[in-house]
Amino acid sequence: MDISTPRATLTTEAILALLNAAVARAQALDVRVHIAVCDSAARRVGFISMDGALPIAAITGERKAFTAANMNMSTGQWEAYVNSLKPGEQKIVDAIEGYVAARGGFPVRQRGMLLGSIGVSGASQEIDADIGHAALAAIEAEVVEG
């Protein structure tokens, strides 16, 4: 019986590259957002609040990263899943603290292995997702839609 499985996480260099690329893309789009990065266990390992970003969006950014790491899917995919549930099942999911069903959160994967996640919040969901995709591209991570 196999009793172990390989796990990996983001390097410090990758965390900084994700944050820097996300800030650069947000600046190019002239928006102010919060950017959270989690490790593969969904623990926050990086966070930036851009000047002028709405304070309420900070929690959402962190929760997008948390959701993406825990579910190993984008928060857009998570939203589609939650919306597909029967109302009684949705109540169960809604009662679980910390999960967000809104675009802008992505798992960070390399060669199919979950390394962590990024969550962006403060602009529209479409722009948050655009910023997240730019960050993933900067480190050549696998791109996940949603």
Domain ranges of the chain: 12-138
How high is the mean pLDDT of the chain? Answer: 96
- Contact of 122 with 34, CB cutoff 8 Å: yes
Nearest of 108, 129, 142 to residue 39 by alpha carbon: 108
What confidence tier does 120 reach under pLDDT thresholds 50, 70, 90? very high
For residue 146, what pLDDT is reported? Answer: 74
What distance in Å separates the CA atoms of residue 14 and residue 76, rounded to the nearest whole number? 23
- Phi then psi for residue 27, to 5 deg, are -65, -40
49-58 pLDDT, tens digit per residue, is 999 999 999 9
| Whether this model's pTM surpasses 0.85 | yes
Q: Is domain 12-138 annotated with CATH 3.30.160.270?
A: no
Percent above pLDDT 90 for the chain? 92
What distance in Å separates the CA atoms of residue 43 and residue 117, rounded to the nearest whole number? 10
